Amino acid sequence: MKLIIGGFVLAAIAGALWARRRYVVVTVEGMSMAPTLTDGDRVLVRRRRIDQVSTGDVVVLEPPLGHAEPRGNGPLWNIKRAVALPGDPVPPGIEGGAGRVPEGALVVVGDNGDGSVDSRQRGFFSADRLLGVALRRLGGPAL
């Protein structure tokens, strides 16, 4: 009996560690993604690399270097919509953009138009700073 319980506990711990490496919960601060997401919403994010992101995905990433605000309890994450990926044409109005999105970069914008600081002001965001793709608002529908 002890062996079965011990095996169950080990499996539960392994499952929790696996989930923690693949998923993270992020709390939205601000209104840059309104009406899709609003201040205080919590979203489930699946860790992803740039080659696992599709145009239109809601992504979580750190702001470009030089634009990050200091934060005592970890990185400041931005949540935005991916509108162009490496090799895609650069959308009009993107600072520093012409031609195609370079490898290792993406173009992101907030759903709240002028209420968002995004690629329109900051240019390309680095794929190295990508946390993942938001899957769903906790307690709400899929994104």
Catalytic residues: 32, 80
Q: Please name the residue that has the structure tokens 């011990």.
A: 6
Taking the CA atoms of 27, 31, 35 and 36 in sequence, report the sign of the dihedral they define: negative
Q: Please name the residue that has the structure tokens 């309104």.
A: 34
- Confirm if 82 and 59 have CB atoms less than 8 A apart: yes
CA geometry: angle 114, 107, 128, nearest 5 deg: 125
Cβ neighbourhood burial of 62 (10 Å; 0-12, 13-18, 19+):
middle
Helices (H), the chain: 2-22, 119-122
